[in-house]
Structure 1
Amino acid sequence: YCFDPRHYLGTQHFNFPFRLRFLLDSVKDLRATLKKTGSSLIVRRGKPEEVVNDLIKQLGSVSTVVFHEEVTSEEKQVEKKLKHVCFQNKVKIQTFWGSTLYHRDDLPFRHIGGLPDVYTAFRKAVEERSGVRPVLPSADHIRPLPPGLEEGPIPTFEDLEQTEPLEDPRSAFPCRGGESEALTRLQHYFWDTNAVATYKETRNGLIGVEYSTKFAPWLAVGCISPRYIYEQIKRYEAERTANQSTYWVIFELLWRDYFRFVALKYGNRIFHLNGLQDKHVPWKTDMDLFNAWKGKVNKVYSSTTLHYNINQINTHPHREKIKHYFRLDPNI
């Protein structure tokens, strides 16, 4: 695993210390899991294309570099540089598709350009004409690292020039990173409490830990796969109960798939100011109006609900409520 300095040096945006703690937990857990199989995880601080180049030269007999294919521009730029490194070193490249419930090759469209621009049309098409691939079995034994290759230390917050975040007992997400924690959460939410059976009714809650699955951070980092969650849902439906709530977990996993495939279809257009439909909105640039808006924000910030939402790890429901409050309620 490479701790890429482009991701963490000089930034405190988007609650990065909380993300970093989750990531450090996940890397530690992955290394511990690999050690149980007789192997380990190589960890380096540096740009992936430079780290891989150094490893190729150190090992001297690398035949193929395998990596997970990404869809958005910053990640694609890293891929491009990595491919160039492999070409220079006469090393083969093999990419694979991951992170989605439905595999890209199994979509019921001739090419990604045929992806519907409406989620419902996408959902109905894949539910009717595609299938979810089975989860691959875990390896019981993996070859150890080559002799002389150091696994490398896992960096600290100080190493990465970040400040470790303080624990807050009010947090709606007190969970830590790692596959082990993800599996513990799934066991708790599905099998120990049956909370999944009421997910659709409670999913937009704000306070506490039990109103939602909380799977999103683990999915984002790769600690758990959407296909494993899908298999567990199907098992739960067969052994306990099947209802709108159990289906809704799959429904939300499909939303996650859809946005990734939209990014694959449209590339950087998803980040453009005018959006995918190229709508030219007459944006206001008057600083007096902006300062007036800031004044209103400061006046209403003391609202208990608003204060709570802003200070949480902002889930989708939190962001929706903040958006509607600032955009609609104060008529800003």
Structure 2
Amino acid sequence: MPQRILYWFRNDLRLHDNDAFFQAMANDAAVLPVFVFDPRWFAELNSIGFPKTGPFRARFLLEAVTDLRRSLQQKGADLIIRVGNPALVLAELAEDIQAEAIYASKEVTQEETDTESDLSKRLKPLNIDLELVWQSTLYHVRDLPFDLARLPTVFTQFRTQIEKSAKVRALIPTPTRIELVSGVPAGEMPTLQSLGFTDDIVADHRAAVAFHGGETEALARLNRYIWEKGLIKTYKETRNGMLGEDYSSKFSAWLALGCLSPRQVYSEVKRYETEQVKNDSTYWLVFELLWRDFFRFVALRYGTRIFKPSGIKHELGVKWSHDVELFKRWTDGTTGIPFIDANMRELNQTGFMSNRGRQNVGSFLVKDLGIDWTWGAAYFESMLVDYDPCSNWGNWNYVAGVGNDPRENRYFNIYNQATRYDEQGTYVKHWLPELADVPANKLHLVSNLSPVEQSQYHVGLGDSYPLPVINPNKWAKAEKHH
């Protein structure tokens, strides 16, 4: 009888460049591909009143798993779907099919590694191995030119060392046929309703990009961005944009669930450089993938510290505010600061926000409102389609000044940022139509409008648009002093 292997799909929802899946199928093993929806992912976070996984991310995940199932079926296999505690479900299934081992992608953050340990404990008495394969980064953890304990604390040092002495491994071939362990009922895909979401989520028609989960869509986006539209050659100039589909690659959502492999992106960039053009922009896309790697290695090195208010710096002296009302003004996009509100409303209505927006709303929550940054990180975790624990919590550590930022006390002057990145106010007006008639030069400090101007521009401060939660004039004053 050939070997039987249970393959546990996690954040690697693809068949291309999937090392763990490839290893599971070695020696002509029959595999049972499984995906387990863990109800804990969708639980309410009671203290602050929103679910751990919000509707946009849940829908994207359902689409990605559905797409993977289709791809497996086309290759003669199927995807077994279960809902429950992964450690319990997988150990039972592995015992049922008399598997020799369970193969899966190795994760680094606490909830995921807790599940790995739990599963491992359950498999021991059954004499079934658990093989975890590292495959989430561009550079393999074993190819780092330093010990993990000596991971540079500053990104630039990390990047310099990697670029000098590490190589990106070759792509793993995509399987053509898959031998399935037969006789196991495939199981129904859950729906948004069965996961606890009440109504169907309709993304706002103003969304920058219609995110659809899955490897098929991911590879199509990659091809469109690099080859069909050639947008990669101007990526560095456009990446700070705020509106539209094409100012940045938008690969992050597919990378987060592993619908797209970072090495696949890298290999397409390299091919583009050979066949078309090599410039700062093509390099910059790889540079962004390196940031993603960096945060993953930081999470691996510091463990649970990235989730604690004191951060990886262990800053125990900082006292954060837990003002629920103020936090709610931030999450709802009703702070009275147009640039902040526009970004938060885009997030609430689409599950996406630009990188520039994230830095600003993060800095505002932490530095201007003094609110516990872990609340902001948890809100992003719930809302963002492209949520990835390492990048999200790593970036928030950074913004809050408890991470590995070489600059002490990094602070964003929101007015300066708004006038620089949304000079004409087109982004703000896109998401705050109630400010449509306010001229661009008055928009970002809309709270300064006189009663006459308010009636002229059809804005009622404190009525159709909220009064600001802090005095924004401090930013304009700071501007003048520079």
TM-score (ref. length: structure 2): 0.64
Q: Give the corresponding residue for 2:114.
A: 77
Q: Give the corresponding residue for 2:304.
A: 268
Please give the secondary structure, in 2, of the residue aligned with 1:77. helix
Structure 2: gaps of 5 or more residues: 1-34, 347-351, 369-412, 415-471, 476-482
Structure 1 segments of 4+ aligned residues over 4 angstroms from their partners: 284-287, 290-300
15-24 vs 116-125, which moves further = 15-24
Q: 1:293, 1:130 → 2: CA distance?
A: 43
Matched residues, percent identical? 39
Q: Give the corresponding residue for 2:240.
A: 204
Q: 1:139, 1:187 → 2: CA distance?
A: 20
93-102 vs 248-257, which moves further = 93-102
> Between Structure 1 and Structure 2, how many residues are aligned?
327
Q: Give the corresponding residue for 1:314.
A: 353
Q: Deviations over 1:193-232 (max 9, x none)?
A: 1111111111111111110100001000010100000000
Matching of residue 239 in structure 1 with residue 281 in structure 2 = no
Matching of residue 88 in structure 1 with residue 125 in structure 2 = yes
Instruction: Write the mapping of 1:148-159 to structure 2, written as runs, cut at 5 A.
Output: 148-159=183-194
Amino acid at match of 1:132: V
Q: 2:82, 2:280 → 1: CA distance?
A: 45
Amino acid at match of 1:158: Q
Please give the secondary structure, in 2, of the residue aligned with 1:95. strand
Q: Give the corresponding residue for 1:229.
A: 265
TM-score (ref. length: structure 1): 0.91
Q: 1:182, 1:4 → 2: CA distance?
A: 24
Q: Of 55, 64, 70, which residue of structure 2 is paired with 1:17?
A: 55
CA change 1:31–1:22 in 2 (3 A) is same
Contact 1:65 1:86 survives alignment (8 Å): no
Q: 1:299, 1:154 → 2: CA distance?
A: 34
Structure 1: gaps of 5 or more residues: none
Larger radius of gyration: 2
Instruction: Write the mapping of 1:252-331 to structure 2, written as runs, cut at 5 A.
Output: 252-283=288-319, 285=321, 301-312=335-346, 313-325=352-364, 327=368, 328-329=413-414, 330=472
CA change 1:282–1:81 in 2 (3 A) is closer
Amino acid at match of 1:23: L
Please give the secondary structure, in 1, of the residue aligned with 2:319. coil
Matching of residue 100 in structure 1 with residue 137 in structure 2 = yes
Cα RMSD of the aligned pairs, angstroms, is 2.4
CA change 1:273–1:324 in 2 (3 A) is closer
Contact 2:145 2:166 survives alignment (8 Å): yes
39-48 vs 160-169, which moves further = 160-169
